[in-house]
A and B are shown apart, each in its own frame.
Chain A
Amino acid sequence: DTGVSQDPRHKITKRGQNVTFRCDPISEHNRLYWYRQTLGQGPEFLTYFQNEAQLEKSRLLSDRFSAERPKGSFSTLEIQRTEQGDSAMYLCASSPYISTSNYEQYFGPGTRLTVT
């Protein structure tokens, strides 16, 4: 296990369709985060999990967005009824929940979503 992986790397969809992204964190990390990054901007926090519990959600996460981490391992992010404004890079990160690690976050390669 060499790092955080995300699938797919690229997704093109038509407006109104539903899409689902997957993130596999580093295996011993029990915290998992989702961020969204639009072109030319820094990433913005969406939500995070500690094990299977979703502990915080950003106001950016509208009702069309839902995230799960059912077994405390991989996570999925679903966007329903996609809109052109959803076009962005969706980044996943993970971190261990131990103070000796400084809670450092490790990021995956991202999923680039284009809504046409």
Chain B
Amino acid sequence: KQEVTQIPAALSVPEGENLVLNCSFTDSAIYNLQWFRQDPGKGLTSLLLIQSSQREQTSGRLNASLDKSSGRSTLYIAASQPGDSATYLCAVRRNNAGNMLTFGGGTRLMVKP
């Protein structure tokens, strides 16, 4: 059974700091990995999707890397801003499966002005 873990569970940083969020998964047979953002009481917004054959994806100040063999992904946020405050979730899709996503518990990020 696939298990996804995110560390840390919560993080508070001053504005402008670069930060790294971690995601690990137990079964390396994944099709892809997605990072999502969730604001309090809201749905999920997809940030980045990395295919299993890729090593990283970038979008603006965000960079996500994937090391499938070690079961790890990181989300790097450059020059953090108060508007980045949210919960960040990673999710993996199994190979040859119904496309269901298995989520980690999330990292709650607070960026202080």
A-B contacts counted at CB < 8 A amount to 67
Residue in B closest to A55 when the chains form the complex, CB atoms: B98
- Please, how many residues of chain B have a CB less than 8 angstroms from a CB on the other chain? 26
**B46, B91, B102: which contacts A106 (Cβ < 8 A)?**
B46
Q: List 26 A-B contacts (CB under 8 A).
A: A4-B43, A6-B43, A33-B99, A33-B101, A40-B105, A41-B106, A42-B4, A42-B6, A42-B103, A43-B91, A43-B101, A43-B103, A44-B103, A45-B100, A48-B98, A48-B100, A55-B98, A56-B98, A56-B100, A58-B100, A102-B32, A102-B49, A103-B93, A104-B34, A107-B44, A112-B41
Give the shortest distance, in Å, between A69 (CB) and chain B (any CB). Answer: 14
A110 interface neighbour in B34, B42, B46, B106, Cβ under 8 Å: B42
Q: Which B-chain residue is minimally distant from A56 (CB atoms)?
A: B98
Show the binding face of A for B, using Cβ within 8 Å. Answer: 4, 6, 31, 33, 35, 40-45, 48, 55-56, 58, 89, 91, 93, 95, 102-110, 112
Residues A103 and B99 in contact in the complex (CB < 8 Å), given A42-B89, A42-B91, A109-B42: yes
**4 nearest interchain CB pairs?**
A42-B103, A107-B44, A109-B43, A45-B100
> 11 more A-B contacts (CB under 8 A) besides A43-B91, A95-B99?
A6-B43, A33-B99, A42-B4, A42-B6, A42-B103, A42-B105, A48-B98, A48-B99, A104-B46, A106-B46, A107-B43
Distance (whole angstroms) from the CB of B66 to the closest CB of chain A: 13
| Minimum distance in angstroms from A7 CB to a CB of chain B | 13
